[in-house]
């Protein structure tokens, strides 16, 4: 299930993400299984992460970021150039 954010929540998360370094780098091989696994691990551990994608094609990068958000169920907080900020709450442990 996709997470949605209000504008206030988005602003708060943008401020928190400002000082973060990219946690995951998507290289020329694209969105491989190990890359998706690392994104999942990072979201579970940190909730708020930055992902950097290579390449100069804006449309391909936008599609890549949308696919990552859809597959992880995370909310895209912000995209600036080649960097995407994602947020997903930690799963509730029972």
Buried b / exposed e over 22-56, threshold 16 CB at 10 Å, is bbbebeeeeeeeebbebbbebbeeeebbbbebeee
- Distance between start and end Cα atoms, the chain: 19
Is residue 1 domain-resident? no
pLDDT of residue 3: 80
pLDDT tens, residue by residue, 57-83: 999 999 999 999 999 999 999 999 999
**What is the rounded CA–CA span in Å between residue 88 and residue 2?**
9
Is residue 61 domain-resident? yes
Looking at the structure of the chain, the number of domains it has is: 1
Is residue 70 domain-resident? yes
Give the domain extent around 15.
7-87
The CATH number given to whatever domain includes residue 54 is 3.30.110.60
pLDDT of residue 94: 62
pLDDT of residue 2: 66
pLDDT tens, residue by residue, 8-50: 999 999 999 999 999 999 998 889 999 999 999 999 999 999 9
Q: Please state the separation of Cα 37 from the chain's center in Å.
A: 13
């Amino acid at each position: 299930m996709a997470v949605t954010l209000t504008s206030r929540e988005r602003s708060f998360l943008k401020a928190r993400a400002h000082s973060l370094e990219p946690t995951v780098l998507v290289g020329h091989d694209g969105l491989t299984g190990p890359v998706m696994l690392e994104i999942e691990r990072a979201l579970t551990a940190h909730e708020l992460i930055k992902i950097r994608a290579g390449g100069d094609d804006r449309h391909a990068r936008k599609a890549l970021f949308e696919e990552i958000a859809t597959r992880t169920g995370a909310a895209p907080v912000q995209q600036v150039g080649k960097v995407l900020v994602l947020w997903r709450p930690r799963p509730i442990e029972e």
